[in-house]
Amino acid sequence: MSVKLFFGEETYLKETKVKKIKKEFGSLVNGINFIQIDENNVKEIISDIETPAFGYEKKLIIAKNTGLFKKEKKTAKGPEAELIKLSNKIADYINENIDLINSAVELIFVEESAEKNELYKSIEKNGMVTEFAELKLPELIQNIQKICVAYKVKIDNSTAKYFIENCGTNMQDLINEIRKLIEYVGTNGVITNKEVDLLCIKQIDSVIFDLTDNLGKKDIGKAMQVLKELIYEKEPIQKILITLYNHFKKLYIVKIAEKYKKDLATSMKLKPNQMFLVNKYKAQARYFTESEIRKIMKEFIDLDANYKVGLIDIDIGLEAVLCKYCS
């Protein structure tokens, strides 16, 4: 199958697959037997398919983030309408010339997302479509442990789970962080939660969990320390405020979902690889009453509005909101 579409949120695995194809293809000469297509030169794709790979048996064309895989809209105008028209034209071309393509070209489309439009269906019919969805927690743990084993380093299930909870579910980010830990503990070393806390860059969502835990325990000193560390790490204060608001919004959803016996994961719109967050949100929601969460959310909204019209400094305002809850 010479025509392929790779799409999905798991960038690392998607890019690894493309690198493997390029390696197996052999010698690549840019502009001769290797063509790179993006949104800027996507109009040339049919011409590139038909141009011979002078001196080479086949040509590899990689079309990346072209925008071709969007559903057709009757209201589309201008460049958007032109792109839809081009997408349909390429779909027809593939259907009519698949034998030519298979004999002379390896055509790979790489997209962050892809809707089931005519081009998608054409590739599905004549080639192969592969979705690279973000990995679920057990798969992430397994991959992290495989990497550690390759470097003769140990990490148990519990620590791997803690590592992922703090560093996120993006495989590329996890690989970057696990490399630091492997280097630190060395051959035959053991990675524990201590090393994760010491060396890893925690995602802001994970740090907000820590901040909220301290708020729930009425430990304003530790809550302020977490906030100041976020600011020290150059996280924009506006982003911190928005993340805090969204976090408390999820806690509020937990309260409502539990009251009416609704599924928590569905109510919070968690992805399959975020299911481990259900218990964390449930545990944190117990620190607050429904009315307290509503009040804190309103305080965040008011702070944002007052900051935008210059009535309050956002740093001081955020600290005031947190202190007020713990007083």
User: Are the CB atoms for 160 and 145 separated by under 8 Å?
Assistant: yes
142 falls within a domain: no
pLDDT digits (tens, 9 = 90+) for 293-315: 999 999 999 999 999 999 999 99
What phi and psi, each to the nearest 5 degrees, are found at residue 136? -80, 165
Where among 116, 131, 146 does a domain terminate? 131
| Helix (H/G/I), strand (E/B), else coil: 62 | strand
pLDDT above 90 for 96? yes
pLDDT tens-digit series, residues 113-134: 999 999 999 999 999 999 998 8
User: Are 268 and 191 within one domain?
Assistant: no
CATH code, domain carrying 57: 3.40.50.300
Within-domain flag for 182 = yes
Last residue of one domain, picked from the residues 131, 147, 173: 131
Q: Residue 74 above 80 pLDDT?
A: no
- What letters, b where the CB count within 10 A reaches 16 and e where it falls short, cover 55-90? ebeebbbbbbebebbbeeeeeeeeeeeebbebbbeb
Residues 217 and 319 in one domain: yes
Shared-domain flag, residues 93 and 182: no
In a domain, 148, yes or no: no
Q: What is the domain count for the chain?
A: 3
Question: Is 145 within the bounds of a domain?
Answer: no
Both 66 and 15 in one domain: the answer is: yes
**Element of type H or E holding 5:** strand 3-7
Return the number of other C-beta atoms located less than 10 Å from residue 131's C-beta.
Answer: 13
Domain shared by 125 and 7, yes or no: yes
* Pair 219, 322 in one domain: yes
Final residue before a domain boundary, out of 98, 131, 164: 131
Please report whether residue 274 resides in a domain: yes
Same domain, 102 and 195: no
Weakest-pLDDT range from 58-67, 130-139, 198-207, 264-273:
264-273
Q: Tell me the mean pLDDT in the region 97-109.
A: 95
* CATH code, domain carrying 245: 1.20.272.10
Q: Range of 183's domain?
A: 155-199
DSSP string, 215-248: HHTT-HHHHHHHHHHHHHTT--HHHHHHHHHHHH
Same domain, residue pair 184 and 210: no
* Position 79 confidence tier, pLDDT thresholds 50, 70, 90: confident
Shared domain check, 87 and 13: yes
Distance CA 209, CA 222 (A): 12
- pLDDT at res. 327: 65
